[in-house]
Amino acid sequence: MPKPRFLIPGGKRKCCKNELSGAEDEFIHPLANSSDEATFGLMWESDQKAKDQEHAEAMQEADERTAPPGKVVYHAILNEADFELSRPSAALAWSGLAAGLSMGFSVATPALLRSFLPEAEWTPLLSKLGYTIGFLIVILGRQQLFTENTLTPVLQLLKCKKLSVFWNVARLWGIVLLANLSGGFAFAWIAAHGDVFDPSVREEFAKIGREAMAHSFGVTMVRAVFAGWLIAMMVWLMPFAEVARVWVIIIISYVVGIGHFAHIIAGSIESFYLVVTSEISIWKSLGSFVIPTLLGNIVGGVALVSALAHAQFNREENAKN
């Protein structure tokens, strides 16, 4: 009777030619040699490390290619608002004055382009590219601009509903708005009386001002809502735009310009030019343009962007807590 055959765990059976004759089988264990066992362990460990490194690199690349969550953007802008509210009044005033002067180039550049371009239906498509220049200077230069630096601090007020925060936000708004308008008025006066621009360019300044003043109170305010909305959305895009920051500014401000959406500072410079050339009174400028545009920008920037974003992310945090 042939002897029973047993397999050694982890081993393999080596068949003999005389298996059918009842001869005993030979068994060889794969790790019978200790040096082979050590080599096998090192190979397995090296392979596992390579897999772990490959997985870590893949996860890192995935993180880099994934857009940041909305709450991350929200807190980044909230931190920016805290910084703006902590700045002294003098610093805000000087920065706001510089921004008002810089925004004059959002009026001067289109006027220059229009003076060289023929009068055609497509002319605004090119001339309004100049509207972006002032925004590029102000935003990349970190100057204080109403609608760009003043609407987001409302997030701090919505998050911390205290009277002290309210007065701090009001301080920021008042200083920046007055400084911007002062700088814009100074630019309009220089453009009209400083012999800086040729007569053909000054005529385009006047035409641009008349276009800004051509609408009723209600139409100007509605258009200003869209301008405030777009500028506030631009602020939300900026924290993680990185190398695309310039393009974000150009595209958003170009849409504001080509859509004739009223912006409180750029548009005020347009109307102030008519004031300093005695074509309209200061009261006409304030009543027909500045006030409706200011109200519309606030509604568009605060109500449609800041308040809605705060409601969304603040509710999420409260739900988690």
Domain-by-domain residue ranges, the chain?
23-65, 70-320
Question: Residue 144: pLDDT above 80?
Answer: yes
Quote the CA–CA distance of 106 and 127 in Å, as a whole number.
10
The reported pLDDT for the residue numbered 192 is 96
Q: Nearest to residue 155, comparing CAs of 229, 239, 75, 96?
A: 75
With cut-offs at 50, 70 and 90, classify the pLDDT of residue 63.
Answer: low
Concatenated DSSP letters for 142-203?
T---TTTTSSTTHHHHHHS--HHHHHHHHHHHHHHHHHHHHHHHHHHHHHHHSS-S-HHHHH
The reported pLDDT for the residue numbered 235 is 86
- Between 89-102 and 132-140, two packed helices, what is the crossing angle to 10 degrees? 150
The distance of Cα 215 from the centroid of its chain, to the nearest Å, equals: 30
* 154-213 pLDDT, tens digit each: 888 888 888 999 999 999 999 999 999 999 999 999 999 998 999 999 999 999 999 999
Answer whether 255's CB lies under 8 Å from 230's CB.
Answer: yes
The reported pLDDT for the residue numbered 203 is 96
Q: Which of 85-89, 144-148, 305-309, 315-319 has the lowest mean pLDDT?
A: 315-319
The pLDDT of 25-47, averaged and rounded, is 61
- CA distances to 163, 205, 223, 261 from 104, rounded to whole Å, are 35, 11, 20, 17
Quote the CA–CA distance of 79 and 72 in Å, as a whole number.
11
Question: Residue 108: pLDDT above 60?
Answer: yes
Question: Residue 12: pLDDT above 80?
Answer: no
Quote the CA–CA distance of 144 and 102 in Å, as a whole number.
11
Question: Residue 314: pLDDT above 60?
Answer: yes
The pLDDT of 88-116, averaged and rounded, is 97
In the chain, pLDDT over 70 holds for what percent of residues? 78
Q: Nearest to residue 283, comparing CAs of 294, 296, 272?
A: 272
The reported pLDDT for the residue numbered 11 is 46
Question: Residue 287: pLDDT above 50?
Answer: yes
Across all residues in the chain, what is the average pLDDT?
A: 84
The reported pLDDT for the residue numbered 96 is 96
**Full-model pTM:** 0.77
- For residue 134, give both structure tokens: 């002032």
The pLDDT of 129-155, averaged and rounded, is 91
pLDDT higher at 287 or 80:
287
Question: Residue 40: pLDDT above 90?
Answer: no
Q: Nearest to residue 186, comparing CAs of 289, 262, 273, 274?
A: 273
The reported pLDDT for the residue numbered 58 is 66
Q: Nearest to residue 142, comparing CAs of 91, 82, 74?
A: 91
The reported pLDDT for the residue numbered 18 is 47
The pLDDT of 119-138, averaged and rounded, is 95
Domain 70-320, what architecture? Up-down Bundle (1.20)
The pLDDT of 29-49, averaged and rounded, is 65
User: What residues does 28 pair with on adjacent strands?
Assistant: 12
pLDDT higher at 104 or 24:
104
One-letter amino acid for residue 235 of the chain: V
Q: Which of 13-22, 38-47, 104-113 has the highest mean pLDDT?
A: 104-113
Residue 151 Rama label (left phi>0; alpha psi -120 to 50; beta)? alpha
Question: In this structure, are strands 26-28 and 12-14 parallel, antiparallel, or unpaired?
Answer: antiparallel
- Give the other-Cβ count within 10 Å of 48's Cβ: 10
pLDDT higher at 67 or 131:
131
